[in-house]
């Protein structure tokens, strides 16, 4: 998987600025279940404590990531068992630092990871008082300690911006969308790595435009692993495919570049 130069520079900038420097003291090893069950217990007066927690990330859109139980499946997704997470640099006023934090979420999207982070429980339901609650990020300045496993957009958790099921489109639209895909400079790698076209069954319409997807395999044996759901934040280093959005207007189908700006290179 290759990333755009801007993405690499942003991550390097974060390191140069010292945004990922480890905090003093050893983090306390806890579980999501412990933190959610009794958030009041895990705070040192007015100070946050540093914790080490293991879980899997959802589709991580911009500043919004959820860390969920490792065994949770898409079919049994329960947001109440997850905690919002922000990566190192996300709370900074510096745009490159924020961008680096967003890219960190994208890089680890759908992965089961262990993080070190500051636990901020003031916005959680079990914390009292919550009079000065300013946001819902329970984990702040998170740093990834270890990656245990990865999932793809087909089987990872989706906590935000889910648009529904994907199905093959009509042959007429398929041909037009593939042509738009080619005009935009995307091509399938070989006859054994075909381009597959999928669009939402009820024709996802945004501001009068019908939106669909063209997905291409990055490797052999990918066809039966293509995504079956449409949601924001599909790109992941674990994907054996990449997908690009197409929009249908008065002049037919065209590449919808604005939907795909996530810092990943096909």
Report, as ranges of residue numbers, the positions in the chain whose pLDDT lies below 70. Answer: 1-24, 129-135, 188-208, 261-266
pLDDT at 122: 83
pLDDT at 4: 43
pLDDT at 262: 63
Residue 196 neighbours by CB under 8 Å, 6+ apart: 168, 214, 215, 216, 217, 223, 226, 241
Q: Is the peptide bond before 129 cis (omega within 30 degrees of 0)?
A: yes
Token pair 């740093």: residue: 143
- Write phi, then psi, for 45 (nearest 5 degrees): 65, -120
* Among 67, 94, 109, 89, residue whose Cα is nearest residue 232: 109
Q: What is the pLDDT of residues 10-56, one digit of tens each?
A: 444 344 333 333 345 789 999 999 999 999 899 887 788 999 999 99
Residue 38 neighbours by CB under 8 Å, 6+ apart: 126
DSSP string, 216-256: EESSTT-GGGS--EEES----TT-SEEEEEEEEETTEEEE-
pLDDT at 145: 97
Distance, in Å, from the CA atom of 138 to the CA atom of 160, rounded to the nearest integer, reads 17
Q: What is the pLDDT of residues 216-237, one digit of tens each?
A: 888 877 888 888 888 889 999 9
pLDDT at 192: 43
Chain region(s) in the chain for CATH 2.40.50: 2-150
DSSP string, 5-71: HHHHHHHHHHHHTTTTPPPSSPPEE--HHHHHH-GGGS-BTTB-EEEEEEEEE---BTTBEEEE-TT
What CATH number has the domain spanning 2-150? 2.40.50
Distance, in Å, from the CA atom of 23 to the CA atom of 158, rounded to the nearest integer, reads 30
């Amino acid at each position: 998987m290759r990333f755009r130069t801007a993405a690499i520079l942003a991550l390097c900038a974060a390191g140069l600025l010292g945004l990922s420097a480890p905090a003093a003291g050893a983090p306390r090893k806890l579980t999501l279940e412990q933190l959610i069950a009794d958030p009041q217990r895990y705070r040192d007066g007015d100070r946050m404590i540093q914790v080490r927690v293991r879980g899997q990330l959802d589709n991580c859109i911009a500043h919004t990531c959820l860390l969920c139980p490792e065994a949770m499946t898409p079919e049994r997704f329960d947001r109440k068992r997850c905690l919002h997470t922000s990566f190192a640099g996300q709370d900074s006023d510096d745009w490159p630092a924020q961008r680096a934090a967003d890219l960190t979420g994208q890089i680890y999207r759908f992965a089961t990871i262990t993080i070190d982070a500051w636990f901020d429980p003031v916005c959680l339901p079990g914390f009292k008082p919550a009079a000065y609650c300013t946001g819902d990020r329970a984990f702040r300045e998170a740093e990834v300690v270890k990656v245990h496993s990865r999932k793809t957009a087909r089987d990872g958790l989706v906590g935000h911006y889910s648009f529904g099921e994907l199905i093959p489109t009509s042959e007429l639209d398929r041909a037009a969308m593939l042509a738009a895909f080619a005009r935009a400079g995307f091509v399938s790698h070989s006859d054994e790595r075909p381009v597959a076209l999928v669009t939402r069954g009820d024709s996802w319409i945004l501001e009068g435009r019908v939106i669909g997807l063209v997905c291409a395999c990055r490797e052999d044996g990918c066809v039966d692993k293509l995504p079956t759901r449409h949601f924001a934040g599909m790109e992941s280093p674990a994907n054996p495919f990449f997908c690009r959005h197409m929009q249908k207007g008065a002049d037919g189908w065209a590449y919808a570049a604005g939907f795909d700006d996530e810092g990943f290179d096909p």
